[in-house]
Amino acid sequence: MVADSFRASKTFTTLVVSFAIFTDILIQNLVVPVLPYALHTRVGLDNNDDIQRWTSILLAAFGAVLMIGCLFFGYVADLLPSRRTLFILGLVLLFLSTLFFALATSVWALLAARILQGLSTAIVHTVGYTLLTEVVGKEHLGKAMGYTSMALSSGLLIGPVLGGVLYEYCGFFQVFLPAFGLITIEAMLRCMVVEKEKKKPAPLISPSSQLPTAPPGASQTHAAAQHPLSTESDPLLSHPPQSTARHAGVYKALLTSPRFVVALTSLFVLNSIANGFDSTLVPFVQDAFNMRASRVPALFLALAIPMLLAPLSGWLADHHGPRFPILAGIAVAIPALILLSLISQATTTPLLKMVMILAFVGLSFALAMGPLGVHAILAVHEIEEQSAPDEFGANGILARAIGLQNTIIAGGGLLGPLYAGFVRVAVGWKGLELLNAGLCAGILILALLSVDRRRVGGRQSEETAV
């Protein structure tokens, strides 16, 4: 049996959460390339418009459930004594969603599968990151988040390719066999995780315990009469329930923290830009260059592969604070997006030039997004340190903060493709990328004003506050 000390270690917890994110993202993207074919061959839709409509509905349903689920499970995770219980529930939902997909013969079964998948992803990204943050501590948070970002990118890279190949050469049901294998491994890993013990709040002293001991020969009734517990003017409940006000206070504290709000705004903008490529990159290269489908994956690989460098940006955040990688990442994105806007029908060797530019865009995401998450967590710790003991409950506000953060990120993933598609139609590819560069310039200014040079370990050389 694996020693409890290893099961509770930072290394093992980082491995389990990273593998959970990899599994979840891979399975999520495993089904995306085969979804239109499933609607045709399994459900029986023949009309292309119906297939397009239901594909969009199923993809949008996942995004909507993910946004709501992150908030809900963040709220629940801070109320429950154990994070692991929800973490394991997420795996059960992932298994059910995969089974529904594999056996579905109606659009309603596919919709149910997609909803369950959204709930599972919400748990992994909220409870998983909360568990990881509590175990690794602030000193190694950047590096740990770098590994989770690398796991996420690996799932994004492998999922669609694996799903397409298995469907082409093996069949529909066989697409899901790797998913069930990964879920089996994940079940063993999640059950082995040992949570970090939380400090229990000091018990409240009841009024009766403050009664003086009756002197010898005197009755307890006499002592109580000298020190009555209450009077007619005292409220019946000396400590009325404050759960509603407390939870409202959590979100008020988070949304009035300039550092936390700037981190979330920056993550929303960068994630919207990243997901906007999903709806605009392929139509642009097809319209401008009539590029063959076999060349298109190179463009998305150029965006995704630099994310494998995310542990390096996490190391920088741990040792030098999140300020440098955040500012460097956003600063790299601005000229890269401007150069991307210059790509047109007159461009020679467009594929080579776009791959090179998109690689710098991907590098900017790798540098900035992980440290922005670290910056948000540091802001949460700052809020907790400045609050009264047990002001936000025994478990603090970490899960709710991460839930809110992931809701904002999911919002970028949901709205990004819509925003990019509409803007490209309205003002063209050049206008879209120039607007994206302008948005990055805006968050760069916010980051300059709000992100300090504080090291994750707690030491601070210089600070700039809003």
Is the CA virtual torsion 385, 386, 392, 394 positive or negative? Answer: positive
Average pLDDT on 114-126 reads: 92
State the average pLDDT over residues 417-428: 87
User: Among residues of the chain, what percentage have pLDDT more than 70?
Assistant: 83
Confidence of residue 99 (pLDDT cuts 50, 70, 90): very high
Span 277-293, mean pLDDT? 78
- Confidence at residue 273, expressed as pLDDT on a 0 to 100 scale: 92
* Band (453; pLDDT cuts 50, 70, 90): low
Query: Is the pLDDT confidence value at 222 over 50?
Result: no
pLDDT band at 113 (very low <50, low <70, confident <90, very high): very high
What pLDDT is stored for residue 368 in this prediction? 92
* pLDDT confidence bin for 198, thresholds 50/70/90: low
Highest mean pLDDT among 24-28, 151-155, 458-462: 24-28
Q: Is the pLDDT of residue 351 over 50?
A: yes
- Mean pLDDT for the chain? 81
At 230 the pLDDT is: 47
Q: Which residue has the higher pLDDT, 408 or 193?
A: 408
Q: Tell me the per-residue pLDDT of 359-393, one tens digit each, with 9 for 90 and over.
A: 999 999 999 998 998 899 888 888 888 877 667 76
Average pLDDT over residues 349-354: 86
pTM over cut 0.85:
no
Determine which of 86-95, 257-266, 276-285 has the lowest per-residue pLDDT on average. Answer: 276-285
In the numeric block, which tokens belong to residue 293?
A: 């489908």
Confidence category of residue 145, pLDDT binned at 50, 70, 90: confident
The two tokens of residue 89 are 């529930």
Q: Is the pLDDT of residue 206 over 60?
A: no
pLDDT score for 2? 55
Of all residues in the chain, the percent with pLDDT exceeding 90 is 27
Q: Left if phi > 0, otherwise alpha if psi is -120 to 50, otherwise beta: which for 205?
A: beta
